Amino acid sequence: MRPRFYAPKANISGENIVLPDYEGRHLRQVLRLTPGAEVALFDGNGNEFSGIVQDVAGNSVVVRVGSQSSPPALEPGIAITVVSAVLKSHLMDNVIKYSTLFGVSAIQPIVSVRSEVSLSSLKQGKRMERWRRIAVSATKQCGGATVPSILSPCSFNELSKNLTEVLDPESPQLMLVEPSSSHDCLSISELKKPENRRAALIVGPEGGWETEEIEKGSTLFKLVTLGSRTFRAEVAPLVALASLFTAWKEF
């Protein structure tokens, strides 16, 4: 199997393109490929091409785009936006990685009352860049060619407005709550497949949602549970995604 690289500018056969810095470093320093090596390129939008390494000198790696390849791994028929309260560094990294492996269309980080990070620190730091690289790496790993969008972080109070920009009004917006919630909740197994094939899954922070957030969420979203068990914050979205894809016959 040819090594695969993310190349967002790979769209015209015969063109020479420069790989993103982190992809170039992987090709040059880890795999130690040389000019003439055959590779596969994917543009992050579902397309894959063959490629030939042209130049690995200096800081840039140049690859010539070849013919378009056979379709890569099929994406799920349901476009799911995972909304996750920002967790501690390595835990959030896992949410990004495994959500990408499931084939979600977008990931929306949010800051909730119990989040241990502020919006300003997220926007000023490099975590967004790191999450995008993790999403690219996970896409390569699973054989896909579509990289999920990592949306700009927002507060829980801004979430409903932000979701209207990526979802249709009839798209289900599912807020995962603990089984002990006193509100009326549905089990994921009871949910019908959305006709417009879009949905959002909203998962809380370590320690769970604050009461005020659940109260507000109950007026904006559909509250759902994973049965009688309580899962850790980094595991809950993965269990929920597996349950949704099974219920909606995506597996």
DSSP the chain: ---EEE-TT--STT-EEEPPHHHHHIIIIIS---TT-EEEEE-BBS-EEEEEEEE--TT--EEEEEEE-S--SPPPSSEEEEEEE---HHHHHHHHHHHHHHT-SEEEEEE-TT-SS-HHHHHHSSHHHHHHHHHHHHHHHHT--BPPEEPPPEEHHHHHHHHTTTS-TTS-EEEE--TT-SS--EEGGGPPPPTTSEEEEEE--TT---HHHHHHHHHHSEEEE-TT----TTTHHHHHHHHHHHHTT--
Cα angle value 25/132/102 (rounded, 5°): 115
CATH node for 4-69:
2.40.240.20
- Render pLDDT for 111-149 as a digit per residue (tens, 0 to 9): 999 888 888 888 777 888 999 999 999 999 888 889 999
CA atoms within 13 A on the CB side of 114: 16
Of 196 and 86, the structure prediction assigns the larger pLDDT to 86
Calpha distance 132→84 (Å, rounded): 15
Asked if residue 224 has pLDDT above 90, the reply is yes
Task: Give the residue from 134, 138, 118, 107 showing the smallest Cα distance to 203.
Answer: 107
Mean pLDDT estimate for the chain: 90
- For residue 71, pLDDT beyond 70: no
Question: Per-residue pLDDT averaged across 36-47, rounded?
Answer: 93
Can you give the pLDDT at residue 182? Answer: 67
Q: The whole model's pTM is what? A: 0.90
CATH topology of domain 79-247: Alpha/beta knot (3.40.1280)
Which of 119-128, 146-155, 208-217 is least confident?
A: 119-128
Question: Alpha-carbon distance 244 to 242, whole Å?
Answer: 6
Segments making up each domain of the chain, as ranges: 4-69, 79-247
- Find out whether 250 and 77 touch, Cβ atoms under 8 Å: yes
For residues 213-242, give the mean pLDDT. 91
* pLDDT at residue 227, as a whole number: 82
